[in-house]
Structure 1
Amino acid sequence: MEKLSYILLFILLLAGCKGDNPVAPVYTYQPIWSQPGYNARNTSNPYATKTIMNPVLNGVEEWTFTFQGTNFSDGSQFCVDSRGFIYYLHQDYDSPALYKFSAKGEVVWKKDSLIQWNYCGISLNSDESRIYVVAFKGQSGDKLYCIDSAGNEIWSLPNGTPCKPAIGKNGTLYLYHNSILSAVSPDGNILWQNPSILILYGVSPLALDKEDNIYTISYYHNIVKLDKYGTIIWSYNINDRSAGIVIDGYGNIYFNGWNKNTMFCLNSDGNLKWTKSNANGFSTPVITSDNKILLSQSKYITAFDTAGTELWKTQAFNTSYAAEGIMLDDFDNVYYLGDCFPIRAGSISADGINRWEYNSADMWGTLPPPVLIPQGKFLFAPKRAGKIRALN
C-alpha cells in the first residue's frame, strides 16, 4: 500500500509540471537595469545578451587608441556587446567613421563617412547582430541606420532625429523620429507616432519599465509615461531638463534637473515622493541591484534607500571634482568620471569605500559617459575625442 502511495504521488507531481498547469513565476524587485544605458555596457536594451561584468581592479591604463585628425565634433557614446566588442562613432569632420573595436583596442572594422554633429547614442539589439545609430553622410541628412555586427548596412530610415533608441521586449525601437516620439519595428517600419510628445533637443532620454511602458522628457519639460502603443498614462511637469531617467525595482522613477540641481523621486503613478538638493545636474542617479539609489552630490556620491534615507556618503575624488557617468559592475562596485582638467576616473565599493583613482593627464572635457567591458575594463573618452582609453 505504501508503495502504491508513492507511485500515485509521483504521477501527481508529473501532472503538475504539464504545460497547461504552469508554475507561477516568482516576481523580482531587482531593477532590470542599473543606469540610463540599461547596463554598464550602455546597450540601451534591458533584454540584451547577459554576461558577467567583472570588476575593474587596478585603475591603471591598459591601452589607448589615437584617431587621425584634429577637427572633431562632440563625443559619441560607446556601446559594448557581451563579448567585449566596442562600437563607437568617431566624429572627425574630415574623416568620420563608425568603428568596431575588440576588448584589446584593436580595430575590427571601420565604416567610413558616418558622422553626427553633436549627440550620438548607439543601441544594440538583443542577439547582438545589429546596432542602431542616428547619423548622416555628407549632405544626406540624419537617418536612423541599422548596421549588422560585420559593419554592413541593413536599412536606413530618413528624417532621423539624434537620440539613443530604447529597445523593447520584441525588438521594437522606441525613439524620436522627425522630432516626434515614435516606435519603429526591427525591420525599419514606423509602427506609431505621438505628435504631442516632441524632443527636447539632445536631452530627451528614454527609459522602459518591465511592461515596456515608456518614460521620457518632452519638449515642454514634462516627464511623461506612455504605454508601448504611445498612449499617455501620466505627465509630471519639472520645468527643467534632465540627462536621464532610471527606475527601481518597485517602479519609482528618479532623475536630476539640469538647472535646479535637484534629484526627483516620483512613484509609479507619477506623484512626487521626495527630492534631494545639490544633485549634479549633468549626471544621472543609478540604481543598485538591491535598490539603493546612488547620487552625485557636489563632490560626493551618496547612497539613499527608496524612502530617501541617506545610507552612506563618500567623496568621489581626493579633489573637489564631482562624479559624472556613474555605473556599476555586477558586484555593485561604482565607477565614474570627474569633469576636470585633466579628466579623472574613480571607483568605490558597494558600501562606499574608495577603491582607486586615475588621473588621465592628457584628457579634458567630459560629455559621453564611460562604459565597462566585461573583461574587467573601464573605457572612456573626452568631448571631441582624439583618443579613447581603457583602464584595468
Structure 2
Amino acid sequence: MRKGDTQEIRRLNRRAILAHLRQGPLTRADLSRLTGLAKSAVSRLVDELLQEGLLEEGAFTSPPVGRPGTLLHLRPGARFALGAELGVEGTVLLALDWRGEVLWAKEWSHPREAGPRERLERLLQEVLPHVPGPLGLGFTLPGVVVEDRLLLAPNLGWKNLDLRPLLSHFPLPTALENDAKASALSEVFFHGEANLAYLVLSTGLGIGVVSDSRILRGAGGAAGELGHWLGQGHKPCACGRVGCLETELGLGALLEHYRSLGGKAGDLEALLQQAKQGEALALEAIHHLGEALGRFLANLAVAYDPARVVIGGKAAEFFPYLEQSLRQSLAAHAFLEAHRSLPVQPSLYGHLAPAVGGASLFLVRFFELGGLWAESPRRNGGRYEEVAFGDRRGLGA
C-alpha cells in the first residue's frame, strides 16, 4: 500500500455513507448493504460521524425480517456555507446548510456604478458576524470567471479584475464563480442530472450547461455566455456590440416592452405584481417574452440536448405567467420530437439561486472529502471543480 491509502479509503467510505444518507434516513444495516462495507466498518465510521455532530439517531425500526435498527439522519444545520450573488443592482447573501436548506438570507441594493471594492467591503461587514462557523463563502458574478479573476462582466462594467487582493481580507475561505455555472452546480448536487441547462435570466442572460455530469467551461471560461450570441436586433449591448441576444430576451427588455404598450409599472417587481393582479398589459408583455424564450430553448436544445432546463434568476418568479406561451413556442419550433416536451421548470430557490450556487461550491467539496474538511489541509487541497459528478469515485456515482 502507498502511504496515505488507508486515509484515502476512509475518506471514500465516509463519502459513500454520507451520499446514501443524503437520499433519506437509513439504518447501519441498510448502509452496509448499500455500500458493500462490512457492518463493523460501517459502525466504526458512523460512530465517527455521530461524534463529529454530522449525524443524529432517530426512530427505532422493527422490520418484518432481520434485526431491529435505529435510523440515522443527516443532522440539520450541522455544516453550512455562505453564498453571495454580486448582481447588477444588488447583493444577496445567505447561509445554506448541507441538506440544501436556506437558513437565512439578506439582500441590499447599491448604485450600478458601485465598484468591486465598495461592494466587497459591504459584503465583508455583513459576513463578519457569522464567522467562525461557515465552511466558506462562495460568491457569484454575472460574467466570465476563471479562478479568482473576472475577465469580463459587461452588465457590471467590470473587466480584467484580479479579486485576490480584495478577497484576502475575508476571514474564511472564498471561491468565485459565474452565476449560471454555480447555479447549475447546485442543481446537479441537490437534485441530480447528467445533462442539464440552467438559464439565469435577469438583467442579462447566461447559461450553465452540465454535459455528461460535468460543467462546460470552454477554453477561456466563456462557455454559456449565450446572452451575447449575435442576433438580428439593432440595440446596443452593455458589452459594446450591437444586437446581442440579451438585449431582446433580458428582463430589462421585458420592462421596456411593457412600457411601450402603455404600462405604468416602474420596475420588475411592480410589473410582477401587476401580472399577479391580472393586468392585461403585463400579461401581454410576459406572454411575448415567453414566446421568445420558447424559440431560444428550441435552439438551446439543438446545441446542448439537455434532459432538463431550469430557469433561475428573477425570471423564476415570472415563470407561472411565462410557462404557457414558452411551452407552446418550444413545441412549435422544436427540432426533434423529444424536444417538444423538454422539461422546463423554475428554480426552487427563485432569485436566490445564484447565491445558493455560491454556497454549493463549498458544500460539494465538503461531501467530496467525506466530511474530513480540516483533518489534513494538504490532502484537502484543490478546487471544487475537480469534483466529477458522474465518475466512479465522484459525487452522484
More helix by share: 2
Tell me the TM-score range normalised by the shorter chain: under 0.3
TM-score, normalized by length of structure 1?
Answer: 0.27
